[in-house]
Chain A
Amino acid sequence: MTGEPITEATTAAMARSLRGTGNRADDGFRVLAVAAAALVLLVLGAIALTMTMRAAGVFADHGAEFFTSTRWAPAGDDPAQQHFGALSFIWGTLYTSLIALVIAVPISLAVALYTTQVAPVWLKRPLVYVLDLLAVVPSVVFGLWGVLTLAEPIQGVYAKIHGAVDGIPILQSIFGAGAQGRSFMTAGVILAVMITPIITSLSREVIETTPQNEKEAAYGLGATRWEMIRGAVIPHSKIGIVGAVMLGLGRAMGETIAAALVIGSSVGQVSANVFSSGNSMPAVIANEWGEAKDPHKAGLIALAVVLFAMTIVVNVVASWIVRRAQVRQYGSRGGRR
């Protein structure tokens, strides 16, 4: 016997050699497990393939115009009149997600820091409970609340905000006139409520890995709590937080139902005015699918392909960032999550 360390693999091999060679049930189980894991690959591949095939005609007919035109005329009886231009929906998706991030990121970070660094022990658990509950409220319930309860009164608030910034060059066009209850802003607010628990819990996980000795070192130098957070916690968890925010962005872009209910569903709107009604890719698909005929459906599937591609890019970048953060913390073999 050499002095090799006994690992799980060697003990398993020893067990197998004791039992004699091969074991059908054992191999069968292994194959089953591999097949289940391969399912992830299969589903993702099938999504990309089947949807792109369905939408290929639309992309071929419109070319780059699909992304640069705002004319969305799906239901014309004359096929020559039919035109799919997705720009206003792509704009709406990006703009509402941006609004959601602007609102959700500072709040999420503050809540994550509060629950990990500030809150007394007895308060931590109830806070996490509240966040968990917020995370499981179905998006359609937020949408229902947004459209039936929030949209009416918030219109007055929007009008007041516009009144307050009227005359200031850039702000007066961002917080523009003609406030709508169902608008980019309302959609952004609802999306912010939905992604805050996600960003908070992912950031909490990163922040909690801050080494205790670094925190104590900061206190030892006479730092206040906020200085300790700025000097020890933030530098340690910066990359992980960026990853958490990216994952939140991915969720905001793909959120359908809440946006479909409160965004206002106006076609062809590419406006920086957060108070104007608009539309986003998933919202269009959800709202128009019901009465869509075949070529129209292909157009909607083309939208879904673009949405899929955008969320994949965001998620891949996010998990790459998170992975890099883990490698930095635990070394290249650590953090196999």
Chain B
Amino acid sequence: MTPPDPTAVQPIDLRARMSWRVIVNHAMTAAMLGAVVLIAIPLVLVLWSLLARGASAAFADFPAFFTKDIPHMDTQPGGGMGPAIVGTLLVTGGAALLAIPLGILGAVYLHEYGKSSTFARLVRFLSVVMTGVPSIVMGLFVYIMWTMRFGYSAFGGSIAMACLMLPVVIRATEQMLELVPAHLREASYALGTTKSRTIVTVVLPAALPGIVSGCLLAVARAAGETAPLLFTVGAASEINASLFSGANTALSAQIFANATSSFPEAQDRAWGAALTLVLLTFAITLIARVFTARIVKR
């Protein structure tokens, strides 16, 4: 029997032990995973309700729902959302035509001309602030500035939505311009081009996929806006294809109006309109994704 050698090194067990630290680590990982599951629940539930109740309303008598006029009475079954679809496309299209060129120009100023001058910093700061202006405030503002003088029209809604989109487009575009390498600009200047020509023919095309993606996301968000339309667009139950004259309607406004109805016929129309609107916004978002994937690939 030899006594244990006091100088012998005890083997160290490098495997993780179930200490409280490891337990806390596992608990926290589980909590994070739980949160991910939790956040998916409302999305799944909403989509389920949309499909369960909206699909029967929207696709039962295809394509009647997408073309027919909106019934005058809540209790009337059937009918469609034709006028609302036309209205949503008009209002959103008008808003895009206003906000996208102005937003891109604004971002060009910020990144190519203003840079870190006081005015550019102020505009940059205020565009962040403007992103936070509630859509209902924007709607009332356009009501006071436009609708009180010119009456209800799809274009009033376009102005309100364009105000909401403008700061989003500016910020998205400026971020994309930051990614354009300086040597492209310098190569263009070296050929003797002016600054404006360089921006239009070199810088903007280089940033184009990103700008398109950012603008599409802004459009998708705007298409679902309801609050500004309550004050500016009015109400219509027949198709009004004019952007500038006459009251109009939109999918979001119809959902809001029919959601509080106690009649199942009107509620069905609300679900059908909601499904249509969600499909529309998801489609725009997916197209935006395609453009984003293109930048990542490069």
A residues adjacent to B (C-beta < 8 A): 8, 11-12, 14-16, 18-19, 23, 25-26, 28-30, 32-41, 43-44, 46-47, 50-51, 54, 106-107, 110-111, 113-115, 118, 127, 129-145, 147-149, 193, 196, 200, 224-227, 229, 247, 250-251, 253-257, 260-261, 282, 285-286, 289-290, 300-301, 304, 307-308, 311-312, 314-316, 318-319, 333, 336-337
User: A41 vs B113: C-alpha distance in the bound complex, in angstroms?
Assistant: 17
Task: Give A23 to B122 CA distance when docked, in angstroms.
Answer: 28
CB-based contact A46/B145 at 8 Å: yes
- In the bound complex, residues from chain A placing their C-beta under 8 Å from that of B108 are 33, 36
Interface bits B166-203 vs A (CB < 8 Å: 1, else 0): 11001100110000001001100110111111011000
Query: CB within 8 A of A110: which of B36, B43, B133, B134?
Result: B36
Q: Give me 10 other A-B pairs in contact (C-beta within 8 A), A118-B29, A253-B134 excluded.
A: A26-B194, A34-B113, A44-B130, A50-B141, A51-B144, A113-B32, A141-B277, A196-B39, A226-B25, A256-B227
Q: Which residues of A contact B171 (CB under 8 A)?
A: 337
Complexed CA–CA distance, A134 and B220 (Å):
12
CA distance A51 to B142 in the complex (A): 10
Q: How far is the CB of A60 from chain B (nearest CB, A)?
A: 18
B221–A12 contact, CB under 8 A?
A: no
Q: B38 in the interface, Cβ–Cβ < 8 Å?
A: yes
A4 to B278, CA, bound (A): 56
Q: Is the interface of A mostly helix, strand, loop or mixed?
A: helix
Q: How far is the CA of A29 from the CA of B104 in the complex (A)?
A: 12
**How many Å from the CB of A280 to the closest CB on chain B?**
11
Contact check, A11 vs B109: say whether CB atoms are below 8 A apart. Answer: no
B170 & A141 in contact (Cβ 8 Å cutoff): no
B259 touches A37 (CB 8 A): no
CA of A120 to CA of B198 in the docked complex: distance in angstroms?
A: 42
Across the interface, name the chain A residue whose C-beta is closest to B167. A40
Given contacts A50-B145, A140-B256, A304-B136, contact A30 B40 (CB under 8 A): no
Flag if A225 contacts B25 (CB, 8 Å): yes
- A-B pairs with lowest CB-CB distance, top 5: A138-B224, A254-B134, A110-B35, A29-B196, A315-B132
Q: How large is the interface on B (under 10, 10 to 19, 20 to 34, 35 or more residues)?
A: 35 or more
Question: In the complex, A44→B122 CA distance in Å?
Answer: 12
**Cα-based distance from A19 to B108 in the complex (angstroms):** 23
> Which of the residues B45, B136, B274 comes within 8 Å of A285, measured between beta carbons?
B136
- Interface of chain B: mostly helix, strand, loop or mixed: helix
Are B256 and A261 interface neighbours, CB within 8 A? yes
Note all chain A residues with C-beta closer than 8 A to B255.
Answer: 140-141, 143-144
Shortest CB distance B34–A (Å): 8
On whether A142 and B46 interact (CB within 8 A), knowing A312-B132, A319-B128, the answer reads yes
Complex alpha-carbon distance, A18 and B195, angstroms: 13
Q: Judging by beta carbons under 8 Å apart, are B252 and A308 in contact?
A: no
With a cutoff of 8 Å between Cβ atoms, the chain A residues found around residue B196 in the complex are 23, 25-26, 28-30
CB distance from A186 to the nearest CB of B (A): 12
Looking at the complex, which one of A37, A141, A256 makes contact with B106 (CB distance below 8 Å)? A37
* Separation of A137 and B225 alpha carbons in the complex (Å): 10
**Does the CB pair A140–B226 fall under 8 Å?**
yes
In the complex, how many angstroms separate the beta carbon of A320 from the nearest chain B beta carbon? 9
In the complex, residue of chain A having the shortest beta-carbon distance to the beta carbon of B103: A36
A21, chain B: closest CB distance, angstroms = 12
Q: Is the CB of A43 within 8 A of B36?
A: no
Q: Does B127 contact A (CB under 8 A)?
A: yes
Query: A278 to chain B: closest CB distance in Å?
Result: 17
Q: Which residue of B lies closest to A265 (CB)?
A: B260
State which of B166, B190, B256, B281 has its C-beta within 8 Å of the C-beta of A257.
B256
A39-B166, A144-B274, A145-B45 are known contacts. Are A136 and B106 too (CB-CB below 8 A)? no
Asked whether A224 lies within 8 Å of B282 as measured between CB atoms, the reply is no
Interface centre among B34, B227, B231 (most CB of A within 10 A): B227
B236 to chain A, nearest CB (A): 15
Closest CB of chain B to A307's CB: distance in Å? 6
